[in-house]
Amino acid sequence: MRTLDDLDVKGRRVLVRADLNVPLDGETITDDGRIRASVPTIKALLDGGAKVVVCAHLGRPKGQVNPKYSLKPVARRLGELLGQDVAFAADVVGDSARSTVESLQDGQVALLENLRYEPGEESKDDAARGAFAEQLAGLAELYVGDGFGAVHRKHASVYDVPKLLPHAAGGLIVAEVEVLKKLTEDLERPYVVVLGGAKVSDKLGVIANLLTKVDRLLIGGGMAYTFLKAQGHEVGGSLLQEDQLDQVRGFLEEAAKRGVELVLPVDVLAATTFAADAEHEAVEATAIPADREGLDIGPRTRELFAAKLADARTVFWNGPMGVFEFDAFSGGTRAVAEALIAADAFTVVGGGDSAAAVRKLELPEDGFSHISTGGGASLEYLEGKTLPGLAALEE
């Protein structure tokens, strides 16, 4: 993969595909982790005398202009972090984008409006995607792929534009791939993976593949209830994916056959309703009352998971253990994060909600070997899939 060192950027217009998909509360950015992670590459290009045109998506506006998903607040924050103005184009490839890009001087930067306002960006039709990619590529002379969180998407800005312009991988993608390689080649054992999050259906591929690689797999979060149910326990009103029960039974059998320790919650915090102030108590995972729903792993499970992480040499963690957005149900996620910090291991937090949780719970980011910016992208890499955005950069 070519890197920034292989590009001569001085005086050239460089299109950077970044992942600036940050959570917003109105116009307030609630976690700027992805913006901060994007700064070094943009800064390196600016220092190299490039005219930098950043493009990115925010949320899922599905091909339509929708002010709720505007990147405008991101442009402001990016400017603060760079310590210089970021010109903001009010469209993606229209008049505003063209004139904004044309007025850039060497060492100046612009951000285009949300790529996903354009139906071509995500189109499944190669021709439609290609046509939009041509317009986007027309804004620049060189392309730098640095939006790690989106490399698993076969989208115009990720997959098609690098076919049209001389290209290289930015520093963030290089760093993320290096970490993922360490998780897949010559890793130190015990290798323990912790998975959480709401839906087991999002993680079928990665679980199947991890069962051939890991020593232990700890399962918490909403997806744990489908495992408990598959073992024959009632889960009350907890999250449950009935249609995944057969699949999950298969995983339980496969783990047993392979000697992989698959560790499930032994107790959960069962609440009367899904709310921050819901009445709740710790109950056995095998005896969740019918009128309650599990919103976090319980205290005995926190200890159990910490013990299973204590001697690990390599850890990958993706997905919260409970509804960490509610303080009362953030303890399980905190306990797992603290166990990673305590372990004498190469520890990777796999993007998305788990990375947001680390910051929301104000845990020290340097307590982990790496906090990824890409949830879905990390999972698909560990699943062994070819990621379109990485493949395009390698060509």
Binding letters toward Mg ion, positions 375-394, x by CB under 5 A:
xx------------------
Q: Of these residues, 72, 77, 182, 199, which one is catalytic?
A: 199
Distance CA 342, CA 337 (A): 9
Q: How far is the CB of 59 from ligand 3PG (least distance, A)?
A: 7
Give which of ligand 3PG, Mg ion, none residue 19 binds (C-beta under 5 to 8 Å, depending on kind): ligand 3PG
Q: Cβ closer to ligand 3PG: 50 or 172?
A: 172
From residue 279, alpha-carbon distances to 39, 82, 296, 298 in Å are: 43, 45, 13, 14
Tell the residue number behind the tokens 């390698």, with chain if given. Answer: 394
Q: Is 83 a catalytic residue?
A: no
User: Checking phi first, is residue 351 left (phi over 0); if not, alpha (psi -120 to 50) or beta?
Assistant: left
Q: Cβ closer to Mg ion: 13 or 360?
A: 360
Q: How far is the CB of 297 from ligand 3PG (least distance, A)?
A: 24
Q: Of these residues, 13, 17, 34, 334, which one is catalytic?
A: 34
Q: Are 71 and 113 in contact (CB under 8 A)?
A: yes
Q: Cβ closer to ligand 3PG: 111 or 264?
A: 111
Residue 241 makes CB contacts below 8 A (sequence gap 6+) with 199, 200, 201, 223, 226
Q: How far is the CB of 355 from ligand 3PG (least distance, A)?
A: 10
Q: Cβ closer to Mg ion: 375 or 388?
A: 375
Sites of contact with ligand 3PG (CB under 6 A):
19, 21, 60, 149-150, 153, 352, 375-376
Q: Is 302 a catalytic residue?
A: no
Q: Cβ closer to ligand 3PG: 33 or 331?
A: 33
Give which of ligand 3PG, Mg ion, none residue 21 binds (C-beta under 5 to 8 Å, depending on kind): ligand 3PG
Binding letters toward Mg ion, positions 306-345, x by CB under 5 A:
----------------------------------------
Q: Are 297 and 199 in contact (CB under 8 A)?
A: no
Q: Of these residues, 196, 197, 322, 376, which one is catalytic?
A: 376
Distance CA 208, CA 40 (A): 35
∠ CA 264-266-272, rounded to 5°: 110
From residue 36, alpha-carbon distances to 74, 116, 179 in Å are: 11, 21, 18
- Judged by CB under 5 A, the chain residues 49 through 108 that form the site for Mg ion are none
Note whether 352 binds Mg ion by CB under 5 A: yes
Q: Are 193 and 216 in contact (CB under 8 A)?
A: yes
Q: Cβ closer to ligand 3PG: 294 or 376?
A: 376
Closest CA to 15 of 49, 51, 39: 51
Q: Is 213 a catalytic residue?
A: no
Distance CA 67, CA 53 (A): 21
Q: Cβ closer to ligand 3PG: 145 or 352?
A: 352
Q: Is 352 a catalytic residue?
A: yes
Q: Of these residues, 120, 352, 375, 389, which one is catalytic?
A: 352
The burial of 284, by beta-carbon neighbours within 10 Å (0-12 exposed, 13-18 middle, 19 or more buried), is given as middle
Segment contacting Mg ion by CB under 5 A, of 81-89, 284-292, 334-342, 370-378: 370-378
- Total interface residues for Mg ion by CB under 5 A: 3
Q: Which residue is nearest to ligand 3PG, using beta carbons? A: 21
Q: How far is the CB of 375 from Mg ion (least distance, A)?
A: 4
Distance CA 56, CA 39 (A): 13
Q: How far is the CB of 332 from Mg ion (least distance, A)?
A: 20
Q: How far is the CB of 23 from Mg ion (least distance, A)?
A: 11
Residues in contact with Mg ion by CB under 5 A are 352, 375-376
Q: Which residues are catalytic?
A: 34, 199, 352, 376
